[in-house]
Structure 1
Amino acid sequence: MKRESNIYGVCLNIINYLDKTKDEPATKAKLANLRNSINKDISYNIESLAFVFSMIPEDCLGTYKQLNYFEDTILTVLQLYAIYQQGKDESVVYRNDEFPYKTFGKSLSTLRQIPKDKNTNDNNAVDQRFNAMVTSADFEELKHHLRQMIKLLKSKSKETIDFASLSIDLYDFRFGDKDPVRIKWSRDYYRYSAHKKGDKDE
């Protein structure tokens, strides 16, 4: 099985589980733990790690002292979901049977459709943030920018995110396939800048 399809299916199952049970106290606690685990040492996020380890296939679990790429990617995506879902009653997960996949760049393109603040001197601030994210030199830098963009998107829109597809891109990035991810996200971020609300996803 290709690594991309494997991580997509695993992430999709976990996200669906969290999304379906997001109003239950146990899941709310899991999401809080995921948010609190960001940038924390293992002693502070063992509950989040235990949840991740229990939800991924045994053959995807690492054997070394550090998280392997699969584990770290899943943990990162779940942290992003926990941030984005916080404080919202409606689901933030992208679902469309006709168009099942949606790139992260396309979700972020919503930010380019928001009218610019006439009082600001920097109308390209969002573009600059996006460009800083896609040109991240390594995964740690990318994670930092992802969290910032997720928070910005959350504050400005009700856009949904395809977290399972995002897991594929982050996994590829970890394996060094950075440019294809950068091109994909950038293409959709700028392509859909004129995408009007109510249009069908392509």
Structure 2
Amino acid sequence: MISTVNGVTKSIIKSLDSNLQSSYTKAVLAELRNSINRNENYASKTWQLLFEKLPKDFLNTNGYLTREERSILAVLQLYAVHQQGNLETVNYEQEEFIDTVGHFDVQYANKKFFVNYKVINADNETVTCNRSFEKYDELVNFMNEWNAQIPNKMPKPRKYSSNLGQSLNVFRSNLNDTTAIDNRFNTMLTASTYDELLNHLRHIIKIVKANKQVKINYPQLAKDMYNLLGSENSRNRIKLQWSQAYYHVDSKKENSNEK
């Protein structure tokens, strides 16, 4: 059985994404939305969805939700809010493989893996190439072969996962005036409690959901929410990571807009 917070969340969302238009999935998502702020008085579908995927270590027998249960449930509720009115999944998983030559941007959609990667051509110019793969193993083999061509003295690729800040950055970058969303983002980060932060995050999700370009890596968000329930150092680290991604400005994109 899957034994990580992000792994369990990924498994649950994958099961829902597999048939978003079914009456069962719609009922589950509606129940998740209705369960918000109900003080753990949830209906049967919510409990079933949560508990049938959880490993024993995540469960509690004292009548209170564990740290794992709280973070996964909160993210499923956010996902349900975001998914409402969308025909395609709002969940987004991205992995980047960075090195001195370029990087891989991998996305999964319609049962295929799509990869964009940058190379340096003979004229020392950076060129973006595109490939698609039906099998994960084929994708991995391609990336390994590509990496093998890089001299050993160069650093090995590093692996990253997209976070909430990166997703909200997509929304922010399309605004002429970012004051309102910046204020909401900062208010969320300065919340004095986890529940207060979560409440602000729900409002942000409701705002950005209208933009179909904005997708969120909900399994990664579950992991981050779990850490927000941890030590002060963990909370500060997550908030800093979100802020770094949220306020990042793509210098190439910015320069291309200059006249």
Are the aligned partners of 1:7 and 1:168 in contact in 2 as well (CA < 8 Å)? yes
Q: Map residues 57-136 of structure 1 onto 2, 5 A cutoff.
A: 57-96=55-94, 98-99=104-105, 101-116=161-176, 124-136=179-191
Higher share of residues assigned helix: 1
- Equivalent in the alignment of 2:206: 151
Q: Which one of the candidate residues 234, 239, 244 is aligned to 1:187? A: 244
Structure possessing the higher radius of gyration over alpha carbons: 2
Cα pair distance change 1:168/1:95, threshold 3 Å: closer
TM-score (norm 1): 0.84
1:141 aligns with 2:139: no
- Equivalent in the alignment of 1:55: 53
Aligned amino acid, residue 136 of structure 1? A
More displaced, 92-101 or 15-24? 92-101
* Superposed displacement of residue 183, structure 1: 0.3
- Equivalent in the alignment of 2:20: 22
Cα pair distance change 1:193/1:137, threshold 3 Å: farther
SS of structure 2 residue aligned to 1:55: coil
1:37 aligns with 2:94: no
Higher share of residues assigned strand: 2
Aligned amino acid, residue 7 of structure 1? V
Aligned amino acid, residue 124 of structure 1? T
Cα pair distance change 1:130/1:193, threshold 3 Å: farther
Segments of structure 2 that go 5 or more residues without pairing to the other structure are 96-103, 107-160, 254-259
**Equivalent pairs, count:** 188
Are the aligned partners of 1:73 and 1:170 in contact in 2 as well (CA < 8 Å)? yes
Higher relative contact order structure (alpha carbons within 8 Å, sequence separation ≥ 6): 1
Cα pair distance change 1:130/1:94, threshold 3 Å: same
Are the aligned partners of 2:93 and 2:162 in contact in 1 as well (CA < 8 Å)? no
Cα RMSD between the aligned structures?
Answer: 2.2
Aligned amino acid, residue 69 of structure 2? E
* Superposed displacement of residue 46, structure 1: 4.5
- Equivalent in the alignment of 1:200: none
In structure 2, distance between residues paired with 1:85 and 1:14:
14
**Which digits, 9 at most, give the CA deviation of each residue in 1:152-173, with x for residues without a partner?**
1112443111001001110000
In structure 2, distance between residues paired with 1:194 and 1:108:
18
SS of structure 1 residue aligned to 2:41: helix
In structure 1, distance between residues paired with 2:197 and 2:239:
11
* Superposed displacement of residue 17, structure 1: 1.0
Q: Kindly, what percent of the aligned residue pairs are identical?
A: 37
Are the aligned partners of 1:111 and 1:126 in contact in 2 as well (CA < 8 Å)? no
In structure 2, distance between residues paired with 1:17 and 1:65:
27
Segments of structure 1 that go 5 or more residues without pairing to the other structure are 118-122, 197-202
In structure 2, distance between residues paired with 1:154 and 1:195:
27
TM-score (norm 2): 0.67
- Equivalent in the alignment of 1:164: 219
Cα pair distance change 1:39/1:193, threshold 3 Å: farther
